[in-house]
A and B are shown apart, each in its own frame.
Chain A
């Protein structure tokens, strides 16, 4: 049943009030037809008796209260999915913008998806080799994980994400696809990704959803959900291993705040709505693996932390939902370390499930912990040294300080083009650890020290 009304009573930013409606349901999709024939989309936020509050996905400019018509379509916002989507470019609302033909839909899916039953999840434990030492060695990514990159404005997060998309591979292979959602980023940033995908031939395996900075902000609320709906189809219907890159979540949250403010909701921290956590969770939690299906969704959301502040609500709530975070550091970036991954506060919660014998190598866990601890000690000692001078440190402390420098120079700073195998990463770790006295390697099993520690230093 399609019902059409000309009873738009009020337009206020992205919100509209429509009166004398009947049979309208919550979350239903609507279309507004302007006198000049333009059609814009909206969804129902609230129905109270015969009044409906709807939220526009596009700009409200040009809507005339008297002559505009609104139609309710009887279903929520949907995306037409099919495997023809691979290699195509869509706008933030899921319409093709690459000049190609319309997608012949295999199915129409509600973009909100449904909550995944925790009993039906399969635990992510397959190691993904990204070729980046700080990730593979210390913050291991596994299939089905959601691992965000916390960055700041001006930091090379796009390069890092592109490097991961380019180099990521799983021992054993599988059918691979990338779903990329640009959420309110600039044309140049978006073009960087497209060019990089094209250069490496990945574009044919990629679905792009592009909402640029000058596209309507409210559309951004739908864009990541469009991308995830496409990803779910490819992963769980078509058995592909999908890497989803969402950039930039900060823009998404700001769009959400804009709508919330228009609705006059009680704001939570920094004006963001109280349900920001739940809202983000309904996106992030769509990553994962399901029992009995082949595919997986691995998610890398990118967000720029306002003022590089990790306690800002967006990174904070994200960190509570995702399975770890890769944090980029401005200090390292300034020092010319690339990718500038800040190792200590970065974390992959699922690393312990994806590493070790049969997955990477038996010594992985021990060396990882040892490298972390040694680097942390080294950095502390360096700080101490800058206050008190070298003389205040014991010889061991000095070795640690030197270790921290070498670690940053050789382990972290590998550039955006070097692709290291996991063995190379682990061996490099041992090489660095051999700088330390053997007695300090308490977190590594003795038999592994025997087997892997470069020999010359042991005799010394």
Chain B
């Protein structure tokens, strides 16, 4: 079945003679067999978005439909691979076409040569349904890849193999209810724009530990939740995203570089293999899938890239894993949507974005969640957490993409260029950010970290709030006119800001901080506040209290090593008590 091009306008191609094609089919365009997707159809003519540069295409060139929608291959070999927006492995492309991406390169997403050790779990005679586990493949030292029966399939297992196989070889045969024997391989195909099915969805109850103090303590994200990181350029969006990808306590991370810098992807690609996951002791790359559609790569494939990424993530979620999808940046994705919409001559909504922008965004984030996976085994639960960066033009959050995102996501980490200029990183503004998971996570926090965790958080937030109103007074009348207690509030707020919230992503000891350590550090800061407050009641001079050596050491507490931090914190706490007591005593003696 083939048609002919009648119109070419950038990445948009219109072809006629495609009466047999379906909406959303993948097509091959021109002699170079460029990959495209049908966006809409009128009679037998179809508008096609082409995922590669269309230079050199003209009317008359052949268009063939593949008869299937844009799909990804799911199976062993995904982990540690870097793909482009339509799941072509970039390292393979490099070996074919060198440092630049030539057009029309065809490479299978999963390595066809590589053999995997397949270890059967199901037995012949078992009645199986979609999502049931056939067998296991140790894909990397930390990822046990569960080979599942594709969704919507049901039957009795006739035979199952054991040994080394490539992804295309049959590992099991299933007899369906209507008597057909279906050979199963280790690979499934799934259309990217359709969410993979599950049994039930639940509200998120456990926090995702990112090791970032301002995130975990002040604005926590739940496993299975959604978050957005908006910020103007230079405010450290990408560093926050990288930190999440590095240190989140999840099993799998899918990192989507969507219309961003090439060097950032290279950075991930070179740095992650060197970093050690504190939970497994293995390299972080061993749990990471990268999707890179950098800003100079074709814009239509950028639109597809976030779907490719989230579909891969859903597949791992279906195995019962905790998965995080990190998309940098959804604004670039929206721009790709806008560009295609403009070329289709659709009626624009706000700022030229199509009217369906917010529903598309909502569909993306709604694929996150805590689910009970398909399969007859009870209680296999997986989570999919979605974090998207937003790049608002000029840092102005009133633009359509930020607004549409804010309506959907539950956690909002608002980056602030003012903080970034002061080199306060992560530059998340504590007054403008929020997390709606606090209530849902309360039970977990109380149980695992004690009730004081959330109490401390509340206290810290109150101090920071108070600081901002005190600052207004200071602007008018100066610091000295404040009461000693208010001066202490300012000092404590400074400690919280500088010695707790600031975190250096490039310093090994400080890059990542577990929950317990976060609780202890904030506890120490608040302990100082309490001791000083009591001392001030008894007439101590605030200036003296702020100058104690333990205050200085508190400032360096975050650089203590992971093995020694508990002892260091204890020691600082004791010194603090002694030194403040001495000041109080000195005051009394006079």
Q: Are A285 and B423 in contact (CB under 8 A)?
A: no
Which of A24, A112, A277 neighbours the largest number of chain B CB atoms within 10 Å of its CB?
A: A277
Q: Which of A9-17, A96-104, A115-123, A402-410 binds B?
A: A115-123
- C-alpha gap A116/B296 in the complex (Å): 8
Which of B206-214, B266-274, B371-379 sits within the interface?
B266-274
Count how many chain B residues have C-beta atoms less than 8 Å from C-beta atoms of the other chain: 74
| Shortest distance from the beta carbon of A198 to any chain B beta carbon, whole Å | 34
Task: Say yes or no: A118 contacts B266, CB within 8 Å.
Answer: yes
Complex CA gap A277/B521 in Å reads 42
Q: Are A48 and B6 in contact (CB under 8 A)?
A: yes
Contact B478 A388 (CB under 8 A): yes
Determine if B56 and A76 form an interchain contact, defined as CB atoms under 8 angstroms apart.
Answer: yes
- Do A392 and B478 form a contact, CB below 8 Å, given A274-B352, A372-B423? yes
Given known contacts A114-B102, A277-B335, A320-B233, is B396 in contact with A311 (CB within 8 Å)? yes
Q: What string of 1s and 0s marks CB contacts (under 8 Å) between A269-310 and chain B?
A: 100001101100110011010111100000000000000001
A49 at the interface (CB under 8 A from B): yes
* B10, B54, B262, B339 pick with most chain A CB within 10 angstroms: B262
The minimal Cβ–Cβ distance linking B206 to chain A, given in whole angstroms, is 33
What's the least CB distance linking B434 to chain A, in Å? 24
A residues 245-270 near B (Cβ < 8 Å) are: 265-269
Chain B, residue nearest A439 (CB):
B552
Does chain A have a CB within 8 A of B98? Answer: yes
Mark each residue of chain A from 362 to 387: 1 if its CB lies under 8 Å from any CB of chain B, else 0: 00010001001100110000001001
A124: Cβ under 8 A from any B Cβ = yes
Whether A23 contacts B266 by the Cβ 8 Å rule is no
Contacts A27-B55, A114-B100, A277-B335: A285 and B9 contacting too (C-beta < 8 A)?
no
Is B107 part of the contact surface with A, judged by Cβ < 8 Å? Answer: no
> Are A50 and B393 interface neighbours, CB within 8 A?
no
- Residue from B102, B269, B296, B423 with most neighbouring chain A CB atoms (10 Å): B296
| Contact of A45 with B9 in the complex, beta carbons under 8 Å | yes
B94 touches A316 (CB 8 A): no
Chain B residues near A388 (CB, 8 Å)? 477-478
B176 to chain A, nearest CB (A): 41
| Interface hit among B57-65, B146-154, B177-185, B565-573 | B57-65
B332 contacts chain A at the CB level, 8 A cutoff? yes
Nearest-Cβ distance from residue A10 to partner chain B, whole angstroms: 17
A288 to B266, CA, bound (A): 11
Interface status of A197 (Cβ within 8 A of chain B): no
Contact of B266 among A24, A122, A344 (CB under 8 A): A122
- Which stretch from A126-134, A202-210, A345-353, A452-460 is at the chain B interface? A345-353
Residues of B within 8 Å of A278, CB to CB, are 259, 295, 299, 335-336, 339
Contact status B56-A25, CB under 8 Å: yes
Chain A contacts for B475, CB-based, 8 A: 384, 387
Question: How far apart are A152's CB and chain B's nearest CB, in angstroms?
Answer: 17
Residue in B233, B391, B480 with the greatest tally of chain A CB atoms within 10 Å: B233
* Residues 251-267 of B contacting A (Cβ, < 8 Å): 257, 259, 261-263, 265-267
Cα A82 to Cα B126 in complex, Å, equals 69
B93 interfacial contact with A, CB 8 Å: yes
Q: Is A30 an interface residue (CB 8 A)?
A: no
- Asked if B279 is at the interface of the complex by the 8 Å CB criterion, the answer is no
Closest to B90 in A: A119
Which residues from 315 to 355 on chain A have a C-beta closer than 8 Å to any C-beta of chain B? 316-317, 319-321, 323-325, 344-345, 347, 350, 352
A291, B99: Cβ atoms closer than 8 Å: yes
- Check A361 for interface membership: any CB of B closer than 8 A: no
Is A288 a contact of B262 with CB atoms below 8 Å? yes
On chain B, the residues within 8 Å of A373 by CB distance are 422-423
Contact B60 A23 (CB under 8 A): yes
Contact with A along B391-403 (1 / 0, CB 8 A): 1011110000000
Alpha-carbon separation in the docked complex, A381 to B357 (Å): 45
B55→A347 contact, CB < 8 A: no
Near A by CB (< 8 A), chain B positions 541-558 give 552, 555-556
User: Does B508 lie at the interface of the complex (its beta carbon under 8 Å from any beta carbon of A)?
Assistant: no
Which B residues lie within 8 Å of A372 (CB)? 422-423
Cβ distance A398 to chain B, nearest Cβ, rounded Å: 13
Q: How many chain A residues touch B (Cβ–Cβ < 8 Å)?
A: 79
Q: Bound complex: CA of A46 vs CA of B552, how far in Å? A: 67
Chain B min CB distance to A176 (Å): 21
From known contacts A123-B266, A274-B352, infer whether A25 and B233 are also in contact, taking CB-CB under 8 Å: no
Contact A123 B270 (CB under 8 A): yes
Kindly state the separation between the CA atoms of A345 and B420 in the bound complex, as whole angstroms: 8
Structural contact, A117 and B342, CB atoms closer than 8 A: no
Give the complex CA separation of A50 and B348 in angstroms.
28
Select B6's contact among A49, A117, A265, beta carbons within 8 Å: A49
Find A26's partner among B54, B91, B232 (CB 8 Å cutoff). B54
- What residues on B are CB-neighbors of A47 within 8 Å? 7-8, 58-59
In the bound complex, how far is the Cα of B480 from the Cα of A365, in angstroms? 35
A281 nearest in chain B by CB position? B295
B556 in complex: contacting residue of A50, A288, A350, A442, CB < 8 Å: A442
Is there an interface contact between A319 and B234, defined as CB atoms closer than 8 Å? yes
Question: A46 near B91 (CB under 8 angstroms)?
Answer: no
Inter-subunit contact A281/B99 (CB<8 Å): no
Interface assignment of B405: CB less than 8 Å from any CB of chain A: no
Please name all residues of chain B whose beta carbon is closer than 8 Å to the beta carbon of A269 when the two chains form the complex.
Answer: 351, 393
Instruction: Give the residues in chain A near B348, CB-CB below 8 Å.
Output: 266
Determine how close the nearest CB of chain A comes to the CB of B455; give it in whole angstroms: 28
Question: A118 to B58, Cβ gap below 8 A?
Answer: no
Give Cα A122–Cα B257 distance, bound, in whole angstroms: 17
- Whether B101 pairs with A26 at a CB distance below 8 angstroms is no
* Cβ–Cβ contact B262 & A316, under 8 A: no
In the complex, the chain B residue whose C-beta lies closest to that of A310 is B394
**Is A124 within 8 A of B93, CB to CB?**
no
Interface positions, chain A 34-56, Cβ under 8 Å from B, are 45-50
- Interface presence of A411 (CB below 8 A): no
Q: Chain A residues with Cβ under 8 A from B342's Cβ?
A: 265-266, 274
* A contact residues around B297 at 8 Å (CB): 115
Q: Which residues of A contact B205 (CB under 8 A)?
A: none
> Is B352's CB under 8 angstroms from A267's CB?
yes
Contact of B234 among A115, A324, A394, A439 (CB under 8 A): A324
CA distance A278 to B340 in the complex (A): 13
Which residue from A121, A310, A394 sits with its C-beta under 8 Å from B263?
Answer: A121
- Is residue A4 within 8 Å, beta carbon to beta carbon, of the partner chain? no
Report Cα–Cα, A59/B482, bound state, in Å: 68
Closest A residue to B60 by CB, please name it: A23
Q: A26-B55, A392-B480 are in contact. Are A120 and B233 (CB under 8 A)?
A: no
A433 to chain B minimum Cβ distance, whole angstroms, is 15
Query: In the complex the two chains form, is B394's CB within 8 Å of A316's CB?
Result: yes
Per-residue A-contact encoding for B492-517, CB less than 8 Å = 1, 0 else: 00000010000000100000000000
Given A25-B55, A45-B9, A118-B292, 17 more contacts at CB 8 Å? A26-B56, A27-B55, A28-B56, A47-B59, A48-B7, A110-B55, A116-B294, A117-B94, A118-B269, A274-B342, A275-B339, A277-B259, A282-B296, A285-B262, A344-B422, A352-B506, A372-B423
A sample of 26 cross-chain residue pairs with beta-carbon separation below 8 angstroms, ordered by A number, consists of: A25-B55, A25-B56, A45-B9, A46-B10, A112-B55, A117-B90, A117-B98, A119-B266, A119-B269, A119-B292, A123-B270, A274-B338, A277-B295, A282-B295, A285-B261, A285-B262, A288-B262, A288-B263, A311-B396, A319-B233, A325-B234, A352-B506, A372-B422, A439-B552, A442-B498, A442-B556
Interface residues of B (CB under 8 A from A): 6-10, 14, 53-60, 82, 90-91, 93-94, 97-102, 232-234, 257, 259, 261-263, 265-267, 269-270, 292, 294-299, 332, 335-336, 338-339, 342, 348, 351-352, 391, 393-396, 417, 420-423, 475, 477-480, 498, 506, 552, 555-556
The 3 A-B residue pairs with the shortest CB-CB distance, nearest first, are A311-B394, A281-B295, A392-B478
The interface of chain A, by Cβ under 8 A from chain B, is 23-28, 45-50, 76, 110, 112-124, 144, 236, 265-269, 274-275, 277-278, 281-282, 285-286, 288, 290-293, 310-313, 316-317, 319-321, 323-325, 344-345, 347, 350, 352, 365, 369, 372-373, 376-377, 384, 387-388, 391-394, 439, 442
